Amino acid sequence: MTTQTPPNVQAADAEGIAQAARVLEAGGTVAVPTETVYGLAARADSAAAVAAIYRAKGRPDFNPLIVHVPDVVAAERLAQFDSRAQALAAAFWPGPLTMVLPRRADAPLAAAVTAGLPTVAIRVPAHPVMRSVLASAGLPLAAPSANRSGGVSPTSAAHVAASLGARADLILDGGVTSQGLESTIVALRPGSGWEVLRPGPVTEADIAAVIGGAADVLTLGAARIEAPGQLASHYAPGKPVRLGALTAESDEFLIGFGEVAGAISLSSSGDLIEAAAHLYACLHLAAAASEPRIAVAPIPDNGIGIAINDRLRRAAA
């Protein structure tokens, strides 16, 4: 028996960022903190590098990935921006909004990044570590959440190390992420239709306030394009999860919120922003607890609570 290779965790200082750039240029994978969750990054222009992401995650299927770029100028090399896309970029980038836009024919992207779709998902992240890595590498980076396929998304370097171990060539430790939930994904359809494919920190109301109208699901009358990675199993903590719980059964680990105390709480003051930031860390703790079941207190379905309830429903499915 060989001993297991330990995870390669480095501080996200100048030396760590320079090392990350070298690993990425060589086609390797680096786990990097973003303001939402840790991403497992690889250069988006290389089929081999993108394949290394799927191998490290153990992802059986080939879902399209989000491409991270430093600014709108870099984004416009990959996708066609109409006036709505420009307005959303001005309002929410850098930040936790991903836009699905028509892919430019000459975009330097490996085919696996877009999984054969005519569109590409792009985001300009706000986290200083991810921004430094993008600047040093000088490449668009594909990055799904840095966890084994089917697991709970990581909001700390320790979560990444526990899930991926040495399968990531490098893990940059930039502390705990601030928002805690994956970015909102909005698809802008040609014409006027748009649709939120994945709720997140930027709400549908925030988007409507900038580009007008309600999310218009059926404008095209075409087959609805889903975010294929949004399967229930993508957030599974590995135990049954009961939602809307006011008290714990004897075999349950209760995650509280507000008045419902629980074994731990998403936010004892009932603050939804704080609850979003704590959600995955609480699910990781609940997964590791001795109780065979997890229960979660009711979460109000407004603001970022919509995204929290979306992830909880998937965790419970």
Q: Which residue ranges make up the site for ligand TXA (CB under 6 A)?
A: 34, 36-37, 39, 63-66, 98, 100, 114, 117, 119-121, 143-145, 182-183, 185, 197-198, 225, 227-230
| CB-nearer residue toward ligand TXA: 187 or 297 | 187
Q: Phi, psi at residue 49, to the nearest 5°?
A: -65, -40
Question: For residue 228, which of 110, 99, 62, 109 has the smallest C-alpha distance?
Answer: 62
Q: What is the closest distance, in whole angstroms, from the C-beta atom of residue 145 to Mg ion in the complex?
A: 3
Indicate the burial class of 224 (C-beta count within 10 angstroms; 0-12, 13-18, 19 or more): exposed
Region at 126 (left for phi over 0; alpha for psi -120 to 50; beta for the rest): alpha
Question: For residue 119, which of 39, 220, 211 has the smallest C-alpha distance?
Answer: 220
Give the strand pairing for 30-33 and 170-173.
parallel
Q: What is the closest distance, in whole angstroms, from the C-beta atom of residue 220 to ligand TXA in the complex?
A: 14
Binding site residues, Mg ion, CB under 5 A: 145
| CB-nearer residue toward ligand TXA: 265 or 309 | 309
| CB-nearer residue toward Mg ion: 46 or 153 | 153
Tokens of 197: 């494919």
Q: What is the closest distance, in whole angstroms, from the C-beta atom of residue 252 to Mg ion in the complex?
A: 26
| CB-nearer residue toward Mg ion: 145 or 309 | 145
